[in-house]
């Protein structure tokens, strides 16, 4: 009895720590404290769980924690900052998988009784399994293991039919009350396939929103399984994350001007605008020309994109920024809400390179200023500066807010090759009169520019 009381009281404290932690993480000043609080909560929760009455199999539990914990700790430590989004995706998928496995085990040992419990266990299993397999696909795509967007013929119809069948099997489980192993296995297989099928056709540009959606899913699944197991800490943490994740998903989708239903059911594809590519020619320029243009400019706005991050050029870019400032040039960074692979990802990457916050501006803050800038330097960004989003109603990205880099006197684009952007759409900006392209990896080109700027000083 006292053990039970101790465990329950500890879980209560844990729930409070989680909420306070999340709250603190919502402000830059307290964010670091927030994760520490939540971390303490997690350690307490894990430790007191060993004192739950009636527990056995301690050896296995500890072994499993060590295996999962060490592997994830290590992979999280060594991963590069640019690869963070897929790591979040895979860890999130594992949480979903754990929730689904909990449901599976509860069914296997016949521990779920009553319609409410069965319904929630089944729902949690479905959502968790979809989140698991979907996140794995998201991981594979962002990691570059799977480059193409795969679309089945009549994709939406297939999705809907599969979803309906899965739900029907789920209803069967709930109604029967005492499901057979065949029912359970069929249900899990269908749920896993559903997660894969939903995620496969989604293009890389939409991936952040999808990861966020799966994050909310996992939260819900955890909350439901928490109810089934009668652990309020799980319910609270799960549902808080479910709600927060849903809101975060909406914020992200809004930043891209793509309703969530669009992302899931009509993914961006390059074919959509096959007939009407931009006309004109792309004009190249040398890093020397580009460097002198910036050196003698009044104002330069840098638009960094994921390409810069992949090339690891953010430190070089900041070095060049400092040189230009010493020469009396005003330099600002313009960040699109979905630059990088997740909202805020680019800010993290620039912060890593040491760029001060005061120099970094959001889309709304800086968009008016492009017309006063002598040079807009676009580094490895593409879709977020594509003016067709403003003008071409037939374009799949029409309506997405973009950075008005094309309004600057001169636009210099550093680009690895002549290919289209992440969404597969040709960029009309590159064909504009005031635009020059510098081909090469961001790291190499910016290093050259630094040399040239120095030689001009």
Partner 1 sequence: MEALYIFMLAAFTGYEVIARVPVILHTPLMSGSNFVHGVVLVGAMVVLGHADPEDPLQLAIGFIAVVLGAANAAGGYVVTERMLAMFTKKN
Which residues are designated catalytic?
383
In the complex with partner 1, which residue's Cβ is closer, 32 or 322? 32
Of residues 358, 432, 362, the one with CA closest to residue 403:
362
Q: What is the DSSP letter of 148?
A: S
| Residue 13, φ and ψ in degrees, nearest 5 | -60, -40
In the complex with partner 1, which residue's Cβ is closer, 116 or 175? 116
Residue owning tokens 């960004």: 381
Specify which residues 300 forms β-bridges with: 331, 375
In the complex with partner 1, which residue's Cβ is closer, 224 or 422? 224
Q: How far is the CB of 174 from partner 1 (least distance, A)?
A: 17
The rounded distance, in Å, linking the Cα atoms of 424 and 383 is 9
Residue 314: CB atoms within 10 Å? 25
DSSP 180-233: -HHHHHHHHHHHHHHHHHHHTT--GGGHHHHHHHHHHHHHHHHHHHHHHHT-HH
In the complex with partner 1, which residue's Cβ is closer, 194 or 235? 235
Residue owning tokens 């020309």: 289
Residue 399 structure tokens: 């309506």
In the complex with partner 1, which residue's Cβ is closer, 205 or 297? 205
DSSP 218-275: HHHHHHHHHHHHT-HHHHHHHHHHHHHHHHHHHHHHHHTT--HHHHHHS---GGGGTT
In the complex with partner 1, which residue's Cβ is closer, 34 or 396? 34
| Helices of type H across 296-379 | 306-310, 314-326, 345-353, 363-366
- 119: exposed, middle or buried (C-beta count within 10 Å: 0-12, 13-18, 19+)? middle
Specify which residues 435 forms β-bridges with: 411
In the complex with partner 1, which residue's Cβ is closer, 30 or 159? 30
């Amino acid at each position: 009895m006292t053990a039970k009381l101790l465990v329950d009281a500890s879980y209560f404290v844990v729930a409070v720590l989680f909420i306070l932690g999340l709250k603190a993480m919502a402000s830059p000043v307290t964010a670091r404290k927030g994760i520490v609080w939540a971390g303490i909560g997690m350690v307490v929760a894990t430790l007191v769980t060993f004192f739950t009455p009636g527990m056995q199999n301690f050896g296995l539990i500890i072994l499993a924690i060590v295996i999962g914990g060490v592997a994830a700790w290590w992979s999280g430590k060594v991963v590069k900052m640019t690869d963070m989004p897929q790591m979040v995706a895979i860890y999130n998928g594992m949480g979903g998988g754990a929730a689904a496995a909990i449901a599976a085990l509860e069914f296997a040992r016949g521990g779920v009784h009553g319609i409410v419990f069965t319904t929630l266990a089944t729902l949690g299993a479905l959502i968790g399994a979809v989140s698991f397999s979907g996140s794995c696909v998201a991981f594979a795509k962002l990691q570059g293991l799977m480059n193409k967007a795969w679309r089945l013929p009549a994709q939406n119809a297939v999705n809907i039919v599969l979803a309906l069948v899965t739900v029907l099997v789920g209803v069967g489980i709930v109604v029967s009350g005492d499901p057979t192993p065949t029912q359970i296995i069929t249900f899990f297989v269908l749920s896993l396939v559903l997660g894969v099928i939903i995620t496969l056709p989604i293009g890389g540009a939409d991936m952040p929103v999808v990861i966020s959606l799966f994050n909310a899913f996992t939260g819900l699944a955890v909350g439901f399984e928490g109810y089934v197991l009668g652990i309020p800490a799980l319910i609270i943490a799960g549902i808080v994350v479910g709600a927060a994740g849903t809101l975060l998903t909406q914020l992200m989708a809004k930043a891209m001007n793509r309703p969530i239903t669009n992302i899931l059911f009509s993914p961006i594809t390059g074919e959509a605008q096959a007939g009407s590519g931009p006309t004109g020619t792309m004009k190249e320029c040398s890093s020397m020309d580009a460097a002198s243009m910036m050196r003698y400019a009044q104002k330069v706005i840098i638009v960094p994109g994921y390409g810069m991050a992949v090339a690891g050029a953010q430190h070089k870019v900041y070095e060049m920024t400092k040189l230009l400032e010493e020469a009396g040039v005003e330099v600002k960074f313009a960040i699109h809400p979905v630059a990088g692979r997740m909202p805020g990802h680019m800010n993290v990457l620039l912060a890593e390179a040491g760029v001060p916050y005061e120099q970094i501006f959001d889309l709304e803050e800086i968009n008016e200023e492009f017309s006063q800038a002598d040079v807009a330097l676009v580094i490895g960004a593409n879709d977020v500066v594509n003016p067709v989003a403003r003008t071409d109603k037939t374009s799949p990205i029409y309506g997405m807010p973009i950075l008005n880099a094309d309004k600057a006197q001169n636009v210099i684009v550093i680009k690895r090759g002549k290919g289209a952007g992440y969404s597969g759409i040709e960029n009309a900006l590159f064909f504009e009169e005031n635009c020059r392209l510098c081909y090469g990896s961001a790291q190499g080109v910016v290093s050259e520019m630094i040399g040239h700027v120095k030689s001009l000083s």
